[in-house]
Amino acid sequence: MASIPSDTSICCLLLNSMVAAKVCLHICATGAQLFSMTPPNARPDPKERLKPTDPELTVSWLHDLVKGILCSWSLAEISVAFATAHESAISKPITSLLVRTHSLPDFDFTASTPALIAGCCMCVIGAAVRSHCYRTLGRLFTFELSIRQDHKLVTSGPYSIVRHPSYTGVW
């Protein structure tokens, strides 16, 4: 005969599913952002590249910095959700290190807030826009300013609406 689950086991199951949902949202959003910030093609040949300006030189290391921050933030959010859901001697220091819990005593760190869900959806939609731009430009899409062999002006797809639609997808 099957036993009736206790209130504690139902709460644990619900809490674990909330954490799983939050983890999935963070993985999707972070993956979408990393995809959007990764060049789809190899670097152009040196003879095709134009001399970069100082701000353009900054962009290359800035991408790596932002990727690192995004991954760290997502990992911290996931860690706090797990630590909150599974309180132990180890989880309390993790939570207190990553979050000022005394200033947010009633906040549920395991829940997926509407802002988180909306933000994750925007990240995935942005990655889809960026992916469409990658496909439309094909091998002409590079992160470095260049004039490729057989270079042409693309005015189809999203480029028929906006000059630089891929910026919409990443930011």
Helix axes of 91-98 and 54-85: crossing angle, nearest 10 degrees: 140
Rounded to the nearest integer, the mean pLDDT of the chain is 81
The whole-angstrom separation of Cα 126 and Cα 122 is 6
Tell me the residue type at 86: H
Taking only the tens place, the pLDDT of each residue in 152-166 is 888 898 889 988 888
Taking only the tens place, the pLDDT of each residue in 87-99 is 778 777 777 777 7
- Torsional sign, CA 49, 55, 58, 60: negative
* Token pair 């949202």: residue: 25
User: What band does 132 get if pLDDT is binned at 50, 70 and 90?
Assistant: very high
Taking only the tens place, the pLDDT of each residue in 17-64 is 888 888 889 999 999 988 888 888 888 888 888 887 777 777 778 888
Picking from 70, 83, 63, the residue whose alpha carbon sits closest to that of residue 19 is 83
Q: Is the pTM of this model over 0.85?
A: no
User: What band does 8 get if pLDDT is binned at 50, 70 and 90?
Assistant: low
Taking only the tens place, the pLDDT of each residue in 62-117 is 888 988 998 998 988 888 887 877 777 877 777 777 776 666 666 777 778 888 88
Mention every residue, 6+ apart, whose C-beta is less than 8 A from residue 59. 143
